Structure 1
């Protein structure tokens, strides 16, 4: 086994590899850019080497800098993680030529499978069913339109060297094909240093199911079952699970056998993933092979009990696989939610800044449920505009799918993040979605269920009532602390007020409170809300989040944030504004005027922090609804800002190349 390895990556995957290497007694070396100088993976590793400026093209994507870091530290092998250089055959060869082991497949397999065009040609020659399309490189936008017209819309425009949803666009007509070609090429160039594009038919409403394979240098190859990755947004996976609720035994066996056969055909060595799209009749088509570790690998580890990073290191060190196909058993169900730095209420646009609060749920096993959180940040970490916006991968494992989903909902409710916007409200709402719970999903799920974007769901009355009861228990705990620690200047009866009014958003609830004897260190109350009595118990301490307790015997977790004269509660995936008042104060509160937001209807505001790639209009120009106004890049993704209605540009406030904050004014309209 190696004595020292270098991880040619950053963030959570670098931390993930370090964790296994440390358990195996292998020393680790981290690399970092200017933006990652204080990153968690740098602090966790035994050594760390600076490799350049923040842009990945000047640091993490420069193979020679990785090689220099290996020479400087004496690292014997390199684990590439995913993204960056993980699927670049030339990087693998550079290491091998210098006596350094690449912890992954050999260059031949990377070339055959790592390139989307070449992999499809290889698969077709091997007799594998592939999606109809044009497998040559598309040279320009007009050629793309001609090919798309021949294939028939819709089409998928894809970067040959792409991955992680970067460099991918769906086009439904010629105009979208032209625009999508250029954006895909730009994203691919910035993310992978390779702007080759190809086009294939887009299969409507498919499921995205992939097979995890594992192979060694001695001719042994097995698969570890499948993962369902159909919950996607903009071709980026959001939620994954293992196994798939859709596959039957026959389809699972056929897909597994085909994946292993393909791995053997290219003499694959290491962990890899064969991805398929599956139609509603369970016909499956080869999509691509990822010659690396996948982001969603934890769900496979949870249901198989096999550490894939450890197996990668063992295979790279020349060992034989420790498992045969008959040894593989899928136990229980695992779900993974990707926690992103993005605002789900503003079209999932990226959010950057400092994590002023980062408190993930407790990891480990509790009864039949296991919680795992793979992350590369901690409280105080900076979310940069230069890299992928993923903060963490939250996973739950349980004996069955329903329990794993319930556990995920509970874990999301306890996951506290402040300082940036994040997608936990969306993930929490998704866990409650009946179609998701029933397993009736496809890659079009988010587009179909949220066609106008994700909006705050209507708050169920039960959630409002529970929020009112929780808010009162918090207020009583606060007043009890004041009674204990503040010297009063006048006599105080020391009793709890019985009559309260709670305002939840815009609704008012009258509540009568009767304290009961404490039980097991928890305060207990009988609360009557509009004539319906509930028993509330909690050991909540002021200033601590989350609130944990029970209402009528049902365990409940709610995040707590202070607000001006109120409390914010995150309950059932929703943020609620709660204000506890006396009846008289409530009477006056109802009379207060509502403050209206400022009018920004004649402005184009930057929806996220980012870089102005281009301005598509000029001052005085009349534009039609749907036309492009500007393009802003954030976290390696280009975002096209379009006119919402017919209008005339009055003035431009920014120029190409400007860095903008969220809500910065880009232009004003007449």
Structure 2
């Protein structure tokens, strides 16, 4: 039976992504939506849409009966599950099969075998796949977790058997961390997957996370579509991915691919799937897990292979054979993916919610030398809620070489405008400019190693600093022209990062020579008052794209990971700055403020208690992740303002302290 109408049992960018391919193939689409998603982009894009419940996922997107009812209501013959939600739930695939509805994914047996991480490792070992040393049996309590961890040898990885997406996962380096990691992983696993089973394995030091993309049909053909490097992660959640890996050689790629194919054949796999590996510094690789679904980062594989994975999944679901052989799988150029999240990197990447008051992604394009792709499920004016994953978009670039792809990504991030919610654009831009990243020296510890004190913004090199002060002075000069006319020469006092610069502008036709004393060069500024992006073209050919917001006495500039408020004044006015009073921020050290919007899971202290440095005070859940809030110094709890179950806003007062 050929699929004529497809229901997408998902939301956000992946639902939009599936709709695009289905439309290209002439397949009608049905969206499902919760109360929170009534006006969502995937609902607008689909041919039909069916309401399936309240905002929490457990009351809508995880309701199998309602998905099947929506299929019957609309006549959809097939369901694409996307990723997350029910995508790896064998009961869902089984229920669809019983209802005579095609599941665009693997067989139930494969989902069951690979969905349980304990079982999957045993099957992998039997299939000849290299596996990490660890304890695959069930663990009763925290003390048994400590005993097992000691026998394996620290560091260890504590993981939920039914886990995924970084949830229910902790690294422990000692007994205390093993105890707490076990408790937190167990709790998160129960909350996210309804399955609190935990296992422990050796944590490989200096590890890279590299995965193999598979596609298999119902006729016994299984292909590996090469690898993706996913080592840059935060809390085990991938942030930046690329294809191919800058680390693998052809022999290792072939070995990983062939072992992945062997595993897929061992479980009778069909459709798209991914086998994830940890790879050490000597290119020894160990099986982590198999994801029996389409991966978030699949676009980079599509960009380097020229294949549409969603189309292949739909054709396989139609019973068709794969249209190519292993020898015909190509690996052309390089692709980078940056996950744009609604999370604040300046506040330890805590989730952010709210309305997107401005959302202007770079224009998508494709040519023989450059491609820009943006997979998204949001729009300007839409809302990022607390109910679902905080992803805003997946920005991808492709170019013939890795460095060209990175440079294209940096330029695309420069012009990506997002306002209204905290987001990690600045962080992504910073990574693109880091020499370690450009060299491909990646590990899963990259973020912790490069930002040990957290993210505070990017430092500016000489070129970028000159770009910033030039744009600041040129913008103020352009604004002055509207009032007093153009000046052949103007002088400016520019303060950036606590350092003052004297900038002289010499106008020569369409170009202006920018002279900062330590550097002088001609430039042309493309910007008019009211515009948010400024394009600075230097006479040497270099081009800089900066986000600008003029202020009362200067300009706010966001560029290459730096977020700067520049003071820009005429020199005769700047002389009076030393007489201006300095505003002192209020002391908030005696309060515990909620660092993110979320729900209180637990309060561990009471009024009058004396707490020590590092002691757990409370646990707040945000976006299905539990965040442990700890005391920063010894103090007495003067007052507790919240109770378990309370829904809190960012910076809401949770407790007050008294000094001892």
TM-score interval, normalised by the smaller of the two chains:
over 0.9
Question: Against the structure 1 CA distance between its residues 402 and 168, is the aligned structure 2 distance closer, same or farther, given a 3 Å change threshold?
Answer: same
Q: Is 1:504 aligned with 2:485? A: no
Say if 1:57 and 1:193, in contact at 8 Å, map to a contact too: no
Secondary structure of the residue aligned to 1:217 is coil
For 1:495 and 1:528, how far apart are their aligned partners in 2? 15
Deviation at 1:269, TM superposition (A): 0.7
Matches within 5 A, 1:122-133: 122-133=123-134
Taking structure 1 as the reference length, the TM-score comes to: 0.95
| Among candidates 507, 517, 534, match of residue 521 of structure 2 | 534
Q: Is 1:631 aligned with 2:619? A: yes
Say if 2:351 and 2:596, in contact at 8 Å, map to a contact too: yes
* Structure 2: runs of 5+ lacking an equivalent: none
Q: Which residue of 1 aligns with 2:313?
A: 312
Matches within 5 A, 1:318-333: 318-333=319-334
Say if 2:489 and 2:507, in contact at 8 Å, map to a contact too: no
**For residues 228-250 of structure 1, what are the alpha-carbon distances to aligned partners after superposition, in whole Å with 9 as ceiling and x for unaligned?**
11111111111111001111111
For 1:187 and 1:47, how far apart are their aligned partners in 2? 35
Question: Against the structure 1 CA distance between its residues 600 and 366, is the aligned structure 2 distance closer, same or farther, given a 3 Å change threshold?
Answer: farther
* Structure 1: runs of 5+ lacking an equivalent: 484-491, 519-523
Deviation at 1:578, TM superposition (A): 2.0
Secondary structure of the residue aligned to 1:336 is strand
Secondary structure of the residue aligned to 2:58 is helix
Q: Which runs of 4+ in 1 moved over 6 A?
A: none
Q: Which residue of 1 aligns with 2:157?
A: 156
For 1:406 and 1:452, how far apart are their aligned partners in 2? 26
For 1:531 and 1:97, how far apart are their aligned partners in 2? 74
Question: Against the structure 1 CA distance between its residues 558 and 149, is the aligned structure 2 distance closer, same or farther, given a 3 Å change threshold?
Answer: same
Secondary structure of the residue aligned to 2:579 is coil
Q: Which residue of 2 aligns with 1:279?
A: 280
Deviation at 1:549, TM superposition (A): 2.5
Q: Which residue of 1 aligns with 2:567?
A: 579
Q: Which residue of 2 aligns with 1:14?
A: 15
448-457 or 284-293, which deviates more = 448-457
For 1:446 and 1:568, how far apart are their aligned partners in 2? 27
**For residues 139-179 of structure 1, what are the alpha-carbon distances to aligned partners after superposition, in whole Å with 9 as ceiling and x for unaligned?**
33333233223322222111111111111111222222222
Secondary structure of the residue aligned to 2:138 is strand
For 1:110 and 1:530, how far apart are their aligned partners in 2? 65
Matches within 5 A, 1:154-193: 154-193=155-194
Q: Which residue of 2 aligns with 1:219?
A: 220
Q: Which residue of 1 aligns with 2:100?
A: 99
Q: Which residue of 1 aligns with 2:32?
A: 31
Say if 1:221 and 1:260, in contact at 8 Å, map to a contact too: yes
Question: Against the structure 1 CA distance between its residues 91 and 526, is the aligned structure 2 distance closer, same or farther, given a 3 Å change threshold?
Answer: same
Secondary structure of the residue aligned to 1:568 is strand
Give aligned pairs, total. 656
Q: Which residue of 1 aligns with 2:139?
A: 138
Q: Which residue of 2 aligns with 1:568?
A: 556
Q: Which residue of 1 aligns with 2:300?
A: 299
Q: Which residue of 2 aligns with 1:228?
A: 229
For 2:275 and 2:237, how far apart are their aligned partners in 1? 17
For 1:544 and 1:5, how far apart are their aligned partners in 2? 42
Say if 2:34 and 2:53, in contact at 8 Å, map to a contact too: yes
For 1:333 and 1:14, how far apart are their aligned partners in 2? 26
597-606 or 493-502, which deviates more = 493-502
Q: Is 1:549 aligned with 2:550? A: no
Q: Is 1:666 aligned with 2:654? A: yes
Q: Which residue of 2 aligns with 1:109?
A: 110
